[in-house]
Amino acid sequence: MSVETLTFGCRLNAYESEVMRAAALEAGTANALIVNTCAVTAEAVRQAKQAIRKARRDNPGRQIIVTGCAAQTSPRDFADMAEVDLVIGNADKMKAESYAPIAFGVPLNDKVQVNDIMSVRETAGHLIEGMDGRARAFVQVQNGCDHRCTFCIIPYGRGPSRSVPMGAVVDQMKKLVANGYRELVLTGVDITSYGADLPGQPSLGKLVQAILRHIPDLPRLRISSIDSIEADDALYDALASDRRLMPHLHLSLQSGDDMILKRMKRRHLRADTLEFVAKVRALRPDIVFGADIIAGFPTETDEMFENSLKIVSEADLTYLHVFPYSAREGTPAARMPQVPRRVAKERAAKLRALGDLQYSAFCQSRIGQMETVLVEHDGLGRTEQFVPIAVPGHGPGELVAVRATGVSASGLVGEPIRTAA
C-alpha cells in the first residue's frame, strides 16, 4: 500500500506534491492517490477531472484525495464527483492532520475540508529531503499573490502573498545539497514579491545573495518565473557577480501590447520588458529568457496581437509558454468582450510556431560551444540555459563538461569532455 500523487500545473505544485505525500504518510494514510489540481485554465480543470475518473476505474479500492487551486476555488465541483473521497484546501494540504480522516477511516459530514484561503497569513518552510530520482529540486520561498490581474483566478486559490523566512529557506537548501542535489530552483506564485511581509522586508535579490553566500557548495541556483517590474538591484548584482545563478529567467510577460497589458492590470508595459532584458543582457551576456504569453485576450485585435508577435523577436525570447485565453468565472476579464475561441487558438498556434523558430535558432547557435550539463536521468541533462542535451554514459546528479555537437528533436546532442564537478 502506498500514497501516490498526480500533479497538474506549475513547478510549485510539483514541490508541494512531495510535501503532501510525506504528510499523508506521516498521518498513516495508505493506498491513496492525491490529485494536486491547477486552476489556471478550464482545460487544466477538465484534465484533472478526467484523470480522477480514470484513476477510480483503474484502481477501485484506492481512495482519492483532491486538493490544489481548482479544489480551493471550486471545491463542490470535485466533492460532487462520486470518485472523490476527500477535498482538502490549499491552506491545509501540507498538514498531516488533514489526512487523518482518510488514514483512520473517520466518517465525514462533508467531503469538503476547505478553509478561507484569504485569511492565511503565513507560509511554513516545509523541509523535504529531496524529490525522488531528480538531480534538481524545487524550493518554495513564497506563496499567494496580492495582485489582481483581470484574467487570473490564482489569488483566490492561493490567498495573499506570504514568504518563507530567509533562514528557513537557507536551512532547507543546505539539507538538499547535503543529500546530493546539484541544482535548486526557487519557486512560488509571485516570487519577486518575496519578503514584503517579513521583518525588514528582504527582497528576492537579497534572498538569492544570502543563499549563494551561505551555501558555497551549491553548484547551481535557478529562479523560476519572475515579474520583471519587481526585480531589485540585489538581483541584478547577483546575476552579474555569481556564475552559480543560472543564466535563464522566465518572464511573466502575458502580452506585448500596451493596451492589453493595461486591461490585464499588469504593472509593466512593453518598454519595461525591453529595458529589463537589455539591462540583464548587459550584465550577463549568456542569459536566455522565456515568457508566458496569452493569445486572444478579450478585446485583442489583430494589430494588438502583432505586438505580441513582435516582442518575441525584439526581446529575443528563447522559450515561449503560450496558451489561448481561458475565461475563469468570477474574473473581470470573463466579463469583457471575448475574442472567438477559434481566433485565440489560431493566434496561439502562430506564437508557438514563432517560439519553435526562436528555440531552434538558439540551439543552432550553441553547436560547437562548451556547456556545463547537469545530468538528470538516462544520459539526458540540461545546460545552464536549460536546454535539454543528450550526454550518453553519465548518471543523475553528475555535472559534465560537454561540447554541443548537434541538434536533436528536443534540444542538443553533446560529447562529454571531462567531469566538471
- Note whether 295 and 339 are within 8 A (CB): no
| pLDDT value at residue 203 | 95
Closest CA to 72 of 28, 119, 139: 119
The radius of gyration of the chain's CA atoms, rounded to the nearest angstrom, is 22
Q: Which CATH superfamily is domain 370-419 in?
A: Nucleic acid-binding proteins (2.40.50.140)
Q: Hey, how many other C-beta atoms are within 10 angstroms of the C-beta on 1?
A: 8
Distance separating alpha carbons of residues 20 and 250, to the nearest angstrom: 26
β-partners of residue 256 are none
Which range of 52-56, 143-147, 362-366 scores highest in mean pLDDT? It is 362-366
| pLDDT value at residue 409 | 87
Closest CA to 70 of 48, 93, 86: 48
Answer yes or no: is pLDDT of 1 > 70: no
Phi and psi angles of residue 64, each rounded to the nearest 5 degrees, phi first: -115, 120
C-alpha cell at position 269: 508595459
User: In the chain, what percentage of residues exceed pLDDT 90?
Assistant: 54
C-alpha cell at position 181: 542535489
Higher pLDDT, 95 or 236: 236
Q: How is domain 3-115 classified at the architecture level of CATH? A: 3-Layer(aba) Sandwich (3.40)
Please give the DSSP secondary-structure letter assigned to residue 204: H
Higher pLDDT, 9 or 195: 195
Q: Hey, how many other C-beta atoms are within 10 angstroms of the C-beta on 199?
A: 7
Distance separating alpha carbons of residues 294 and 322, to the nearest angstrom: 6
286-301 in b/e form (b: 16+ CB < 10 A) is: ebbbbbbbbbbbbebe
Answer yes or no: is pLDDT of 369 > 90: yes
β-partners of residue 293 are 254, 322
Distance separating alpha carbons of residues 412 and 389, to the nearest angstrom: 4
At 204-254, the pLDDT tens digits run 999 999 999 999 999 999 998 899 999 999 999 999 999 999 999 999 999
Q: Which CATH superfamily is domain 136-366 in?
A: tm_1862 like domain (3.80.30.20)
| pLDDT value at residue 127 | 47
At 254-268, the pLDDT tens digits run 999 999 999 999 999
pLDDT (mean) for 182-189: 91
| pLDDT value at residue 110 | 61
Confidence of residue 293 (pLDDT cuts 50, 70, 90): very high
pLDDT (mean) for 136-158: 86
Per domain, the residue ranges of the chain are: 3-115, 136-366, 370-419
Answer yes or no: is pLDDT of 78 > 90: no
At 8-30, the pLDDT tens digits run 877 777 778 888 888 788 778 88
Which range of 95-104, 149-158, 401-410 scores highest in mean pLDDT? It is 401-410
Answer yes or no: is pLDDT of 135 > 80: yes
Sign for the pseudo-dihedral over CA of 322, 327, 332, 333: positive
pLDDT (mean) for 130-152: 80
Answer yes or no: is pLDDT of 54 > 50: yes
Q: Do domains 3-115 and 136-366 have the same CATH topology?
A: no
